[in-house]
């Protein structure tokens, strides 16, 4: 019981704070990026070692179930000398296993860690994940590197939960604590789990190709596949493509995806999606992204006549928001691609982007605009917008749902009041979206898309409203939701649960009617001798 209570008291932030403190005080620990590289590499070694140990444990159980003794010398030679795992677990070489590292004497740890990285780098999926000589170059004092390894050893999925993107969480912590390039206007942002869950629940990237042009640590991919697993889906049907400009973050993404056994294509190097598109000419089923907000310095004179914006206009050099939009649109499959991405709220009504925005709206690329609550992110407190682009608003079947024609309509949602769930234990104020809120928002969107819904009357004051093209044109092509969603006197009462129950019942009635019609059609075919 005492041991269980001790485990419950373990706190990830406390462990990471100790690691940060060790690195800050250590001689020759290097810059912020070098400290972060060491930490993230250690965490990766810890996790890949943990996964290997779990794989061996499962292999032992399977052998015992078959009546074989895992401790028998011949059995160990046959099954354990070169174990094969079917769940994406790597067969970690002996010198790279965490059990080997943790037992290495302190004076030899730096060399042992670099030996482990060199050994792992022989695997094609792990090539490019590590910097050669990461630990021997810095050459931390034996006491410092030993303390660091001992702290990292406390981080494991059994304690902190398999469903969490723990490498991403470590990355987020170091962004937060060191605040490098994390201003309100630009920089690296780790996208919180609830925000990724919202995007994925909205656009449902459950099969096909998924792309992120600024993939960071790979969190969008990790959490999307976790959502697919939660729905008993097949993650092997998802093929992920990404690009990342920062070399350290690119390596982190490769580590993160390799650790999870997710097939990925991140290109051969870290580079800018604007000046060197590593996936040029490819089109994807889904795009999910959280580009750096209001990014400056993105433009290059060679981009003036770039085909990505030739049908629209050259995006403003001062801000990359619309460059991201047009870049992603250029990679969506022409007849069915769907994109969900975040942008700073200024992109909704910038005066210098009216020409591009009006064409996007008139070409029926914009499907939904969702304003999110403030303080969802650790590194910025601004409210941001979730955009959904859709290459097919004409209707048809989509993930088992029958969609209606939504041409010349856009759904606006305002979730800024959904701030009642504060996150405890943070240094600054932060809120999160709960699963039932995410499902409610997605349900509003999916009902609006579905057959049987009247878009001209789809609205709840202060929450959402479906708006036609002409009204948007009258507002000079602004996509600011407050220009369209009705705001009311708060002394009036709206029974939101009752209203949602009414809409849900209507949807269920429509689905039931469709099923009954299909059954009657099937029976009619069988009646004339046609086998279905």
How far apart CA 352 and CA 316 sit, in angstroms, is 7
Beta strand 464-468 with 409-414: parallel, antiparallel or unpaired?
Answer: antiparallel
Q: Is residue 132 helix, strand or coil? A: coil
Instruction: Give the model's pLDDT for residue 264.
Output: 86
CATH of domain 2-160: 1.20.1260.30
Least confident of 206-215, 418-427, 452-461: 418-427
Distances (CA, A) of 200 to 220, 347, 395, 440, 469: 9, 22, 20, 14, 27
- Would you give the DSSP letter of residue 25? H
Instruction: At 430, give phi and psi (nearest 5°).
Output: -150, 140
Instruction: Give the model's pLDDT for residue 259.
Output: 76
Q: Report pLDDT digits (tens) over 69-86.
A: 888 888 888 887 777 776
Percent of the chain past pLDDT 90, that is, above it, reads 45
Q: The pTM is what?
A: 0.78
Least confident of 312-316, 437-441, 494-498: 494-498
Q: Decide: 466 and 410 in contact? Cβ < 8 Å.
A: yes
Report which secondary-structure segment, H or E, holds 32.
Answer: helix 32-65
Torsion of CA 107, 112, 113, 119, to 10 degrees: 170
Q: Which CATH superfamily is domain 175-237+275-483 in?
A: Vaccinia Virus protein VP39 (3.40.50.150)
Instruction: Give the model's pLDDT for residue 173.
Output: 73
Torsion of CA 268, 204, 163, 46, to 10 degrees: 0
How far apart CA 326 and CA 32 sit, in angstroms, is 34
The chain-wide mean pLDDT, for the chain, equals 83
C-alpha 526: how far from chain center: 47
Q: Say yes or no to pLDDT of 3 above 60.
A: no
Q: Is residue 144 helix, strand or coil? A: helix
């Amino acid at each position: 019981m005492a041991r269980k209570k001790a485990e419950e008291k373990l706190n990830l932030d406390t462990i990471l704070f100790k690691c940060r403190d060790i690195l800050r005080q250590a001689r020759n620990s290097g810059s912020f990026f070098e400290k972060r590289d060491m930490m993230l590499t250690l965490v990766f070694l810890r996790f890949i070692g943990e996964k290997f140990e779990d794989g061996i444990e499962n292999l032992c159980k399977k052998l015992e179930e078959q009546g074989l003794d895992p401790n028998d010398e011949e059995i160990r030679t046959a099954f354990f000398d070169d174990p094969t795992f079917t769940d994406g677990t790597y067969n970690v070489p002996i010198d790279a296993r965490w059990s080997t590292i943790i037992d290495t004497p302190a004076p030899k740890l730096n060399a042992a860690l670099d030996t482990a990285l060199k050994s792992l780098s022989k695997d094609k999926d792990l090539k490019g994940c590590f910097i050669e000589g990461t630990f021997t170059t810095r050459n931390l004092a034996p006491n410092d590197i030993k303390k660091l390894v001992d702290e990292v050893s406390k981080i494991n999925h059994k304690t902190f939960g398999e469903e969490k993107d723990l490498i991403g969480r470590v990355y987020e912590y170091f962004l937060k604590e060191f605040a490098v390039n994390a201003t309100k206007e630009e920089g690296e942002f780790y996208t919180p789990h609830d925000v990724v869950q919202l995007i994925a629940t909205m656009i449902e990237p459950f099969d096909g190709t998924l792309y992120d042009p600024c993939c960071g640590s790979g969190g969008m991919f990790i959490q999307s596949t976790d959502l697919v697993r939660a729905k008993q889906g097949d993650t092997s049907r998802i093929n992920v493509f990404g690009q990342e400009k920062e070399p350290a973050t690119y390596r982190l993404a490769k580590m993160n995806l390799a650790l999870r056994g997710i097939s990925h294509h991140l290109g051969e190097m870290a580079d800018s999606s604007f000046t060197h598109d590593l996936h040029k000419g490819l089109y994807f089923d889904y795009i999910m992204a959280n580009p750096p907000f209001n990014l400056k310095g993105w433009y290059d004179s060679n981009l003036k006549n770039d085909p990505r914006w030739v049908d629209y206009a050259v995006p403003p050099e001062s801000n990359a928001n619309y460059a991201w939009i047009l870049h992603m649109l250029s990679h969506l499959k022409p007849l069915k691609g769907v994109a969900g991405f975040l942008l700073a709220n200024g992109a909704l009504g910038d005066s210098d982007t009216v020409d591009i925005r009006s064409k996007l709206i008139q070409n029926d690329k914009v499907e939904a605009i969702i304003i999110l609550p403030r303080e969802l992110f650790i590194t910025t407190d601004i409210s941001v917008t979730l955009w959904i682009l859709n290459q097919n608003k004409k209707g048809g079947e989509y993930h088992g749902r029958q969609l209606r024609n939504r041409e010349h309509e856009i759904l606006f949602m305002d979730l800024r009041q959904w701030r009642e769930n504060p996150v405890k234990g943070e240094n600054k104020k932060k809120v999160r979206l709960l699963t039932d809120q995410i499902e409610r928002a997605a349900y509003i969107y999916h009902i609006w898309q579905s057959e049987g819904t009247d878009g001209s009357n789809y609205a709840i004051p202060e929450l959402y409203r479906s708006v036609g093209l002409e009204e948007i044109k009258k507002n000079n092509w602004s996509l600011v939701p407050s220009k369209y969603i009705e705001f009311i006197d708060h002394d009036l009462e709206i029974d939101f649960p009752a209203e949602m129950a009414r809409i849900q019942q209507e949807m269920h009635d429509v689905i039931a009617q469709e099923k009954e019609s299909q059954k009657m059609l099937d029976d009619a075919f069988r009646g004339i001798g046609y086998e279905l």
